[in-house]
Structure 1
Amino acid sequence: MTGPLAILGPGTLGISAAQWAAECGLETRLLGRDQHHAEAGLRRIHTRWDRAVERERLSSEARTMAVRRLSAAAFGPEALQGAATFLEALPENIEVKHPVLAAAGEWGPKDVLLLSGTSALPITELARRSGLVGRLVGFHLFVPVPRMAVVEMAVAPGTLPKCVEQARDLGKALGKRVVQVRDQPGFAAARMALAQGLEAMRLVEAGVASAEDLDALMTLGYGHPVGPLELSDRVGLDLRLRIAEGLTAAGEARFQPPALLRALVDAGHTGITAQKGFHHWNKEGRRTS
C-alpha cells in the first residue's frame, strides 16, 4: 500500500478493523458520518489499547506507534485524499452501502482500491448499484479482527485482476489467510454458519434440547470454539434474520428462518449487543447464562 487505508463506519467491524490495521503498521483513517462520530470510535480503540497494555498484551511502545498511525475524520472528499484503499464497514443494507461506495469512487484517487466489508450482500449487485462494476471487491473480515486469521474475498465476474491482487495484498498485510470465493448471496462463510445456526434454532424450537446443551454438543463433541447459537448471538440475530430472508427471497427455501428467530428479533433480543438472545450477556460481552 502506498497510501492510507480509509475505513468508513466506527461500529463493531470498523473499529476492530481500524485497530488491527494500525497495529499491523498501516496508516489508517477511521471515518464517521461527522468528526464527532469518528472521534468517538477512535476513543474506543484507544481504550482497548490501554487495556491491552495493562494486561501486558501490548507494549507501551507498540501502543504509541499504533496511536500515531490512526486518525479520525468525517466522511467526505478530504478524507479520501491520497487514500490507497477504501473499506466500507456499514450495516448489512444495500441501500446504506451503495451510496457511500459510489461517493468514495468519485472522491478518491482514480486508482483507489474499493472494498465492501459485507458478509452476505452480492458484490455484483452492490457494484452495479454503486457504478463500480469491475472495481469493487468483497472483503469480509471476521470480528474480532485482531483474533481472526482469515478474510473472505468475494470476487464478482469481470472484476479487474489488479483490484483482486491489491485486495489479496491487503489481506496479507493484515496477517490473514485470504480465501477467495465466487460472488453469490451469502458468499461461503455466512452460508455455512447460517445453515448450522438455523438448524440449531429449529431444534430449540422443537424442544429437542436447550440452547446451552446444543452449543455444548458442538463445542465439546466437535471441538468448535463456540456453538452455533452462541455464534448467532455474537453475530447478531437481526443480521442472521436479514441474511436468511435474503437467501429465501432468492429462491433458497432451505434458509427459511424459524419462527423462533423472528420472535426473538421482534422482541429486541438480538444477541450480545442487546445482552439477550439465545443466551444472556453482560455489558462486557461475556455470557451470564
Structure 2
Amino acid sequence: MKVGVLGGGRMGAGIAHAFLTSPNADSPHDVIVVERDEQLKDAAAQRIHEALSRSIARGTIDRTLDDAISALHVSTDIGAFTDRDLVIEAVPEDRALKSEALTTVEGVLAEDAVLASNTSSIAIDALAASLSRPQRFLGLHFFNPVPSSSLVEIVSGSATDPTLVERARGWVEALGKTPIVVRDSPGFASSRLGLVLALEAIRMLDAGVASAEDIDRAMELGYRHPMGPLRTTDVVGLDVRLDIAEELYATLGERFAPPALLRQMVADGRLGRKSGEGFYRWDGE
C-alpha cells in the first residue's frame, strides 16, 4: 500500500515508522512524509532514520536499515501524495490548522484514496465539514510513542463509509497493533478518559495532596497502570495536553477546564520530556 503522512514531528515520524516496519503486511508499504520546509523535512528524515536504527538494534523488526529507508521518501511537495492510497494528517492539534491541511491534501488525492486524521480530540465531523468527500475520511488516532504503543483508535464520522472502517481494521492489524472503533465524539474514548485522570492529578498536585511521584505510584501500584498520569503527561507533552483540554472544555464543558498549573507550566516552557522538564526532569532522555 502507498501511504502518505502529513507532518514529520514525533507523531508523524512514529506513524511512518509503523508503516515502514509493518510486521503483518502482505508486502512492504511505500511511505511518503511531507513537511512544510526543507529544515523540517531534514529533521523528519533524521527522526525516522534514528527510530528505525533503534528498532533494528533492539531486534524488534527484521528489516535491514537500508531496506526500510529505501521505502521512505521525505518531501516538501504536497503533490507527492497524488498516487497515495492512504494519507494520514499528523499536524499539531489545532482545529483551523488541521482543517486547512486536510482540505489541501484532499485536493491532490485520487477520488478513491482515503484521508485520515491523527487528531486526539477534535470531532471527525467538525474536520470533515470542509471536505468534499467526507465518506472517504476517518480518524486514525495513534498513540505516543507510536513504535511501542499497541493501540490505534479508529473514529468513524457520520459520513464515513462503513466499509472503510473495516478496511482500517485490517490496516491497523497489519501494523501489529490492536484497533478499537469509536463513534465520533470530541476526545473519542482514549483522550477523554485519559484527560480526566490527568487533569485531576494536576489539580491534586497543585493542592498539595501528594507529590507527583506518589500520585503516579497510586495509579501504577493501586490500579496497575503502567505509567502514572503525570509522567504520562510529560511523555505526551504538556502543550499537547493543554490543546486537548481546551478543545474538550469548549465542546464538553467545565469538567475539562485546564488547571491554572497546566497553563503556567506550558507558558514557562516546561512541556515535559521534549523540553527536559515537566512534572519530572528528563535529563539526557
SS at match of 1:243: helix
Deviation for aligned residue 1:63? 2.4
Unaligned runs of at least 5 residues, structure 2:
23-27
For 1:250-272, what per-residue CA distance to the aligned partner results, in whole angstroms no more than 9, with x for missing partners? 24211122121112112111211
Q: What does the per-residue CA deviation read over 1:200-247, in whole Å, with 9 as the maximum and x for residues that have no partner?
A: 111111111011111011112222111000011111112212222222
Corresponding position: 1:46 with 2:49: yes
- The answer as to 2:240 corresponding to 1:242 is no
1:230 matched to which residue of 2?
231
Q: Deviations over 1:13-64 (max 9, x none)?
A: 01111112111131111111135532331122222333444444455x5323
RMSD over equivalenced CA pairs, Å? 1.7
Of stretches 186-195 and 98-107 in structure 1, the one that deviates more from structure 2 is: 98-107
* AA of the residue aligned to 1:28: V
Where does the alignment leave 5 or more consecutive residues of structure 1 unmatched? 285-289
Equivalent residue number for residue 65 of structure 1? 67
Is structure 2 residue 142 aligned with structure 1 residue 144? Answer: no
Equivalent positions of 1:70-85 (< 5 A) are: 70-77=72-79, 79-85=80-86
Aligned pairs for 1:134-213 within 5 A: 134-213=135-214
Quick one: distance in 2 between partners of 1:253 and 1:16?
33
Counterpart in 2 of 1:17?
15
TM-score between both structures, scaled by the size of structure 2: 0.92
Which residue is 2:37 aligned to? Answer: 34
Distance 2:86 2:246 in 1: 31
Counterpart CA distance in 2 for 1:90 and 1:169 is 24
- In structure 2, the partner of 1:267 is 268
Aligned length: 280
Counterpart residue type for residue 42 of structure 2 = E
Judging changes above 3 Å, is the alpha-carbon distance between structure 1 residues 57 and 167 closer, same or farther for their aligned structure 2 residues? closer
Alignment of 1:215-226 (within 5 A): 215-226=216-227
- Following the alignment from structure 2 to structure 1, what is the Cα–Cα distance between the partners of residues 39 and 168? 29
| 8 Å CA contact 1:248, 1:255 repeated in 2 | yes
CA offset digits 1:89-113 (Å, max 9, x no partner): 1100111111221122110111111
> Residues 233 and 271 of structure 1 are in contact (CA less than 8 Å); yes or no, is this contact kept in structure 2?
yes
Inter-partner Cα distance in structure 2 for 1:196 and 1:63: 39
Cα pair 1:123 1:154 within 8 Å, conserved = yes
Deviation at 1:275, TM superposition (A): 1.2
Higher RCO (CA 8 Å, separation ≥ 6 residues): 2
The one-letter amino acid paired with 1:30 is: V
Q: Give the corresponding residue for 2:258.
A: 257
Query: Counterpart of 2:115?
Result: 114
Aligned-partner residue type, residue 23 of structure 1: T
* Aligned residues with identical type, % of pairs: 39
Q: Following TM superposition, by how much is the alpha carbon of 1:75 offset from its aligned partner in structure 2, in angstroms?
A: 3.3
Contact 1:8 1:75 in 2 (8 A): no
One-letter code aligned to 1:89: A
- Provide closer, same or farther for how the CA distance between residues 56 and 282 of structure 1 changes in structure 2, counting only shifts above 3 A: same
Equivalent pair of 2:56/2:64 in contact (CA under 8 Å): no
1:133 Cα shift? Answer: 2.5
Deviates more, 1:101-110 or 1:241-250: 241-250
C-alpha change, 1:245 and 1:27, in structure 2 (3 Å) is: same
Contact 2:5 2:31 in 1 (8 A): yes
Map of 2:5 onto structure 1: 7
Shift in Å, 1:132: 3.9
TM-score computed with the length of structure 1 as normaliser:
0.91
Following the alignment from structure 1 to structure 2, what is the Cα–Cα distance between the partners of residues 207 and 178?
A: 38
